[in-house]
Amino acid sequence: MLGLSLLVNLGLLCYFKYLFFFADSIVSLFHIFNITITLPAINIILPLGISFYTFQTISYTIDVYRGFIPPERDFVLYGCYVTFFPQLVAGPILRAGEMIHQFVNRPLFNLYDIGIGVRRILYGLFLKVVLADNIAPLVDTGFAQPVNLMSALDVWTLAFLFGFQIYFDFSAYSHIAIGSARLMGIRFPENFNFPYMATSPRDFWQRWHISLSSWVRDYIYLPLLGVPVHDRSVGGLPVDENRQQKSQKGNIALFVTWAIMGLWHGASWGFVCWGIYHAILIFLYRVTTPLFNNLSEGLRKIGGWMITFPLCMLGWIFFRAQNLSDAFAMYAKIVDPREYLSLGLRENYYLIAALVVMAVIACCYFKTSVIPIIRRQMLLATVIETGVFAVIVGLVFVFLRPINQFIYFQF
C-alpha cells in the first residue's frame, strides 16, 4: 500500500507540474543529435498549492508506515489535515502527527489565541503589502532589462532586492497562515527564524522555510544516509555532523537532496541549479569548518555571517533570472573585475537595498537584545507594542492593493 500511495501522489504531481518540463528536456536532448520530435498540444491547469499538500499526504503515508502515527480511520479528520485552509496553498508543510490530534481535541475559545493570531496576521500583512509589494516593481523592472546593460554592482543589488522580496513575501504568508490557524486555537510550527542572520549555510537552512527543509531532511536526506529520522517539522535540513555525512555517500545524498529540493520549487533547470548551488555551499562549509576552529566564537559568527549573507543572496539569481543563460551571464559579471567600474540602475535601487539591509540587521538586534529588556517592564512593553501595531495597521491600509499574489502560490 505504501508503494501504491507514493505512486499515486508522485504521479499526480509529476503529471500536473513536471510533464512539460520532462517532455521539453527530452525534445532538447534529441535536438542535440539533430532528431526532431513533435509533441502533441496539451493544456494542463496546475492545481493551486499542489506541491504543499502532496508532500503532506506523502508524509502521512510514510509516518504511518514507520509507526510514528496510527492510521486515521476518520476520513473527515484526515481531510481536515490535508485541506486545512490557512496553509493549503503555500504552507507551512504540516505533518499528521502535529495536526490531527488538534482537530480531535478541539480547542475552546481563547482570547489569548485571538490576540496572538491577530498580531501575526497584521505583521504578515505589513511584510507583504508594505515591504514585499513595494520592492517587487524594482525587482521586476531590474530583472527585465538586458543582462549586457547591467554591471556587477547592479547584479548584486538586484540579487539582494529579490532576496528581501521573497523573504518578506513568503514570511508574510507564513505569519498570516500561523495567525489564522491560531484564531481557531490551532498551532502551526514556525517557518522562518531570521534566516538572513544565519552564520553558515547550514544555519541558514535551519532558519529558512523550516517546514520544507525538515520534510526533505526526514523523507529524502536521512533515509538516503540510513540515519534515524525525526517526526517533527522543526530543526531544518542540516543535522549533527558525523562521519557518515562526510563520506562519499553523504556527499551524494547531499547533492541529490538539494537537486530534488530545487526541482520541487518549479519545473525549470534554474531551480535545479539553485538547489545544487546551496548543496555546494553546504559542502564547502563542511570542508572548511575545521580550518576555523581556532578562532573565537564571536569572530566565527561575525565572519560566518559576512560570508553567508551575500552568498545566500547570490543564489536567488537562479531563482529569479528570466532564464538559465541570463543567470549564468549575471554570475559572469560578478567575477569580472571590470564590471565593477560602472552603474546601470537608478540611484533608488542601491539606496533601498542598503536601507533594507540595515533595517533587517536593526530588527534582529532589537529582537535579540532590546525586546527582552523591554518585556521585563510590562507597562512600557504594552505602550510600545500598541504604538508599533498602530503604525503597522495604518501602513497596511495605506499600501493595501488587491493585485499582487504571494510568490509561493506558483509552487
Catalytic residue among 175, 209, 265, 278: 265
8 A C-beta contact, residue 151 and residue 339: yes
8 A C-beta contact, residue 336 and residue 345: no
User: Which residue type sits at 104?
Assistant: V
Please give the grid coordinates belonging to residue 262. Answer: 530545487
- Overall size of the chain counted in residues: 411
d(CA 39, CA 60): 36
Dmax (CA) of the chain: 75
d(CA 232, CA 70): 15
8 A C-beta contact, residue 191 and residue 178: yes
175 classed as catalytic? no
8 A C-beta contact, residue 70 and residue 64: yes
User: Which residue type sits at 61?
Assistant: T
8 A C-beta contact, residue 275 and residue 316: no
- Rg of the chain, C-alpha, whole Å: 22
DSSP letter string, 245-261: HHSHHHHHHHHHHHHHH
Please give the grid coordinates belonging to residue 272. Answer: 535545479
Tell me, what DSSP letter sits at residue 30? H
d(CA 266, CA 260): 10
Catalytic positions, written as ranges? 265
